[in-house]
Structure 1
Amino acid sequence: MNISNDDKVSKPAVYHCVKCKNHCPNPLKLPSCGHIICGPIGEKNATCCAVILLKTVNTAKCPKCPNKLAKSTKLEDLEPVIKPQVSSGKGSTAEIQPKNQGASDEFEATASSSPPPPKPTREKTEFTTDIRDDCRMKIIVIGETGTGKSTFCNILAGEEHDSHLFPTSAASTSCTQVTRFAQSFFMGDQGKPIDIIDTIGFNDPTNENDAFIIADLVAKLNKNCDYINVVAIILNGTRARFERSLIGMLRIFHEMFNKDTFWHHVILIFTHMGMDKDSVDKRKNANKGNSDDERLEDYIGVLAEQFSNAKGASYLTIDCLWNKDNADEKEAFVNSMNELWDRIQKAKRLTTKNVTEVEISNEKLQKMIAEEVGKLEEQMQKKDKEHAAELKEIKETLRMEMVVLLKIQIK
């Protein structure tokens, strides 16, 4: 079948920042050279590469070329690459509002004359080894094996629940075998860039295997991640009870970060809970008339007995296997994901620079952490040498080009 030019759909251009090397949701052009740098996203101005660069404007220059910025350079002097759409009568883009106060993922335009809006462009997730200074909200996902951690990561990235992006398994062994950093977009929306830190599922922090898991995580957070915004703890809502392995896992993470602020960043995600009316009613009957919220708040109360700062901890119920043909489940899922994004946006930064100072009595674990940190430091030193050699080559190329230009001018 022949397709006319009018029927062809062009893919949106992808721009990468010369400073952080990542995809730019809001790309800006640097003056003179025109190289691309990350611009602010919403109200997160302080975290974008452009603002960081302009803070050192007296010595600031393009990260890719010798072009220096004028001392008077301001953020508004940087030209946006993607021009905003302006509403101006017929054919303009209408403001989009969700139906029923966010209860559905179907949208309608407030201007009846406008055509239905296109769905957000779904961006791909890319795995990387370093997520420092990339201007994204960062969410670390932890949980015991079998709680649905990888399934949740797939949903978070806008994939199907059983996507191979974050492999899932019905077996008792974890599919994730190493801590991974994924530069992604919340629910696939290019306007919501996030980093997903996918950790290895574990069951007992005292055994040798789980000791390696913790050592791997601590080393990577310390060396390749500068901060996190949200700690998502995945729990199976159908068997929400405290076991020794869970308490041990939470105690490790509680020790890793600032004890006074850690729980402000935690969101307990209860999975495996069908939200159709029959499932909700069955759970209520099985729990002596207590609703899901009442039961989970009791759970938080027990948690606070173990960790005093956990009182009032945040939680959400998210059924990643929700039935798309069921209106109740659809509404519950959309509302929960909207609430999750709202909490991610509001979350402050929790630094990871001191995670190696975690007080762990297990001497073997301490040794493993030191070994993993040492390996990462060696890798980083090797990359620094490679970058230095590459920079030297670029400078030599520029010098030769300048010599050629001078010769031409002299002639």
Structure 2
Amino acid sequence: MHYLIIGNSAAGVAAARAVRRADPAGKITIVGDEPYPYYARVLTSYYLGGLVPRERLWLAGEEWYSEQRIQLITGRRATAIDVQRRLVTLDDGTELYYDRLLIATGAAPQQIDVPGSNLAGVFTLRTLDDAAAIRKFARPGGQAVVVGGGLVGIKAAEGLHARGLKVRLVVSSGRLLSQALDDTGAELVRRAMAAAGFTIHLREDVIALEGHEKVTGVVLRSGAAVPADVVVVGKGVRPNVDFLQGSGIEVDRGVLVDYYLATSIPGIYAAGDVAKAYDRAWQNRRLNAIWGNAVEQGRLAGLNMAGHQTAYRGGIGQNSLVVNGLGVISGGIVNPPGEGYEVVTRLDEKRSCYRKAVLRGRRLVGMVAVGPPLGAGGFQSLIGREVKEKYIASFLDGSFTWAMVGR
């Protein structure tokens, strides 16, 4: 049995580990588009800021692949899949046969299409090479502009700030973390970032980048022009699915998978940021580009590829970060789209503490915790389940513990 895995990050490596445990004799090949073994992409902003050294990014060295009898092909991308012949074509023309195939190609950063976007000094932050390139431009005391106020943008801003730059965020929506927080929680985060020295432009867009060969400034829709030695675009990501055109694999922004992470073509699975899988808060398929979801999906996809039928209970959109000492945890449906939801909140502005629970009937579907994290992680894990009133009350006052569940 030949297991072919396209993608050498969280989902792909988790799948390979699961396959090897389930099938010690099977042949495993992993294809990665970067020239490196498995590393922690979630730490690239910390590497950018000098908070984590390069050597701490590695999660598996070349010796691990050898020990696990995994063939690793680096620096190559898949360009096509022939599902009839069970062949994957790479960008150098190589054709790889498979018995079971996992699509774990992840997602690519969204770009901005404005005059000057091709100038030197304009980046996205997704990979180790991105972070290394930004470090060369991001000199302490310089001016940085981050385009986007989501998790990617804020992490990039924090990395640049830690590196000693003056950082501006340009955010098109009316609040930071618009997908992860509501207005109240986002305002607490904005205050914390402002207190740390960030300049934040809400309801604003970049319409042009200025400079000759290298970026020197940013023009905003309001007409303001601000200096910039480096610009980082953090406008979210899009799944890497272009190479699937004509394959017959069903795609709706991401690769559609069932409860077993199987695609519409027998023998082919998908996991991670590229997969549109079951979301237990929304109770339908959604894209959740989260490292933890990718690891879990990859693990289960690997087991299923090896014949151990194991259902995926579903993931959720979730966020966790610390901004100038202010903790932020959120998950599920934080901004209900219509009627039928119950929202319970508690706010202590003096302590910059805010908590929110979103319910649909007795089922917890979303939560927000800004401030001390007491009990927030455990409460988040209840999303998708029916919860008792005492769980909600204890979450709001910070006394929730997992030991309460089942009493």
Q: TM-score, normalised by structure 1?
A: 0.22
More helix by share: 1
Q: For the pair shown, which has the larger CA radius of gyration, 1 or 2?
A: 1
More strand by share: 2
Q: TM-score, normalised by structure 2?
A: 0.22
Higher RCO, 1 vs 2 (CA within 8 Å, ≥6 residues apart): 2
